[in-house]
């Protein structure tokens, strides 16, 4: 064993603590719960977590409760006669107050009075989920189930009512997923006698998460409708560009500019909706997982939560998925069309460049022949001036040689021309 132990990774303990950071509450029926999820407005450039934390501390200070750690994303504490569970998520914060006992009149909204009204008015955001839970206990016998079914049916709207056994028939869960006149969605949990406190807490927590994640995922539905309308319009523009590409090749460069502008619009739309579609997909998977964890079984032939989701919720999620897929496919088609048109423009440009080069080559040949002609003339001109100078220089020698001047000039004209021609040829050779 070494004297110095091996150092731990700096994130080893924080990450391990994160796995155990959100224990399920331990509940004893009969009891009730009031739940609230608050999301900062969509127009905010960036979520200010300090506002959510300040709002939590304002609630804790009213009851003299302990504050959370400075960087905490969850907190649980006794709050007067209730128990508070606070969690900070990526897009929202949630408050859950658990209290003993149930109201005399089921779901009369009194449980939500556990939250101070003036504190609610100061919330830094908007409500995306507000839930009331009523938890009771009874003996599950064959004789008691029909009466229980009738009693629960009076609390909810029959058209969307769901009732099912959950977690190995340890409890019956009922809801209609409707917002009541007080602004809350209601859940009833009727537990069999002997159900453990932890199991009852897990059931309540999974129902709250199902409702919250469902609402958060539905935020993508209006975005999907908007994207579908925009995609229809952009697809029509793209089809018009395709017609131009196939009909008029003389305007390829102008068509390419129009196509690139359209691609910019599509990418802008995709970037503005990418986060929302990604969040919707993630929340939808969480909803599916939470419902699977309930392990539902049919109760008295009633509709189950999973069936309600299949008929009411999943079509909306498929709409979001379809809208995002259409947008991505449109982006791909636009990119392929741009590449095709860009290639055609490049080929046309290459042909034009080839023609220009051929014409330049012709002009270079003409210039070469002209230059050779000029060089020949220059030999004659230089020779002429050289002979003229020599005639003046050697004219006095003509009488002594017994020659006339023209005879002397005739004698050295050819040698001078030959010398000038040789010198010109030597210069061209050195230049090459």
The predicted-structure confidence for 99-146, as pLDDT tens digits, reads as follows 999 988 889 888 888 899 999 999 999 999 999 999 999 988 877 888
pLDDT band at 258 (very low <50, low <70, confident <90, very high): confident
Is the model's pLDDT at 390 over the cut of 90?
A: no
Helices and strands, number each (H, E), in the chain: 11, 9
Q: Per-residue confidence at 229, pLDDT binned at 50, 70, 90? A: very high
Q: Looking at residue 194, what is its pLDDT?
A: 87
∠ CA 217-221-226, rounded to 5°:
145
Output 247 or 422, whichever has higher pLDDT: 422
Do 111 and 163 form a contact (C-beta atoms < 8 A)? no
> Which is higher by pLDDT, 157 or 355?
157
Residue-wise pLDDT for 207-219, tens only, equals 999 999 999 999 9
pLDDT in tens, 364-373: 778 777 776 7
Residue with tokens 């699977």: 292
Lowest mean pLDDT among 45-54, 159-168, 303-312, 341-350: 341-350
Give the separation between CA 379 and CA 381, rounded to whole angstroms: 5
Asked whether the beta carbons of 251 and 312 are under 8 A apart, the reply is no
Q: List domains and CATH numbers for the chain.
A: 23-197 (no CATH), 220-356 (1.20.58), 369-431 (no CATH)
Selected residue with higher pLDDT from 12 and 227: 227
Q: Is the pLDDT reported for residue 78 higher than 50?
A: yes
Give backbone dihedrals phi and psi of 52, rounded to 5 degrees, phi first.
Answer: -65, -40
Asked whether the beta carbons of 230 and 269 are under 8 A apart, the reply is yes
User: Which tens digits make up the pLDDT trace of 34-75?
Assistant: 999 999 876 544 678 889 999 999 999 999 999 998 888 889
The pLDDT score that the predictor gives to residue 354 is 80
CA distance 264 to 275: 18
- Band the pLDDT of 4: cuts 50, 70, 90: low
Average pLDDT score, the chain: 86
Listing DSSP states for 73-132 in one string gives SEEEEEETTEEEEEEE-SSEEEEEEEEES--SSTT-SGGGGGS-HHHHHT-SSEEEEEEE
Q: Check residue 421 and give its pLDDT.
A: 79
pLDDT on residue 45: 45
């Amino acid at each position: 064993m070494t004297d110095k132990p091996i150092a731990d990774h700096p994130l080893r303990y924080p990450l391990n603590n994160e796995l155990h950071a959100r224990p399920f509450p331990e509940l004893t029926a009969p009891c009730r719960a009031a739940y609230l999820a608050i999301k900062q407005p969509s127009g905010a450039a960036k979520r200010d977590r300090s506002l959510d934390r300040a709002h939590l501390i304002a609630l804790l200070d009213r009851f003299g409760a302990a504050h959370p750690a400075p960087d905490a994303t969850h907190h649980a504490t006794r709050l007067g006669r209730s128990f508070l569970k606070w969690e900070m998520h990526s897009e929202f914060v949630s408050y859950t107050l658990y209290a003993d006992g149930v109201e005399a009149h089921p779901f009369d909204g009194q449980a939500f009075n556990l939250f101070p009204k003036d504190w609610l008015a100061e919330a830094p955001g908007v409500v995306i989920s507000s839930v009331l839970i009523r938890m009771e206990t009874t003996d599950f016998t064959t004789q008691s189930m029909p009466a229980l079914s009738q009693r629960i049916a009076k609390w909810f709207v029959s058209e969307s009512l769901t009732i099912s056994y959950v977690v190995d028939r340890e409890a019956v869960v009922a809801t209609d997923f409707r917002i009541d006149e007080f602004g809350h969605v209601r859940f009833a949990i009727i537990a069999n006698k002997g159900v453990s406190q932890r199991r009852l807490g897990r059931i309540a927590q999974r129902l709250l998460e199902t409702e919250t994640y469902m609402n958060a995922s539905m935020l993508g539905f209006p975005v999907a409708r908007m994207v579908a309308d925009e995609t229809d319009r952009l697809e029509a523009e793209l089809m018009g560009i395709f017609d131009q590409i196939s009909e008029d090749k003389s305007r390829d460069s102008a068509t390419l500019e129009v196509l690139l502008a359209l691609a910019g619009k599509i990418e802008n739309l995709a970037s503005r909706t990418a986060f929302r579609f990604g969040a919707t997909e993630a929340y939808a998977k969480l909803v599916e997982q939470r419902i699977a964890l309930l392990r539902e079984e049919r109760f008295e032939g009633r509709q189950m939560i999973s069936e309600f989701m299949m008929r009411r919720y999943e079509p909306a999620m498929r709409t979001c998925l379809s809208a995002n897929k259409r947008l991505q496919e449109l982006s791909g088609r636009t990119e392929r069309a741009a590449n095709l048109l860009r290639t055609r423009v490049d080929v046309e440009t290459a042909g034009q460049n080839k023609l220009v080069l051929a014409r330049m080559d012709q002009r270079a040949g003409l210039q070469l022949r002209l230059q050779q002609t000029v060089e020949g003339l220059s030999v004659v001109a230089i020779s002429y001036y050289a002979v003229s100078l020599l005639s003046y220089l050697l004219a006095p020698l003509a009488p002594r040689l017994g020659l006339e001047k023209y005879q002397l000039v005739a004698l050295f004209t050819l040698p001078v021309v030959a010398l000038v021609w040789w010198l010109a040829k030597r210069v061209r050779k050195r230049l090459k």
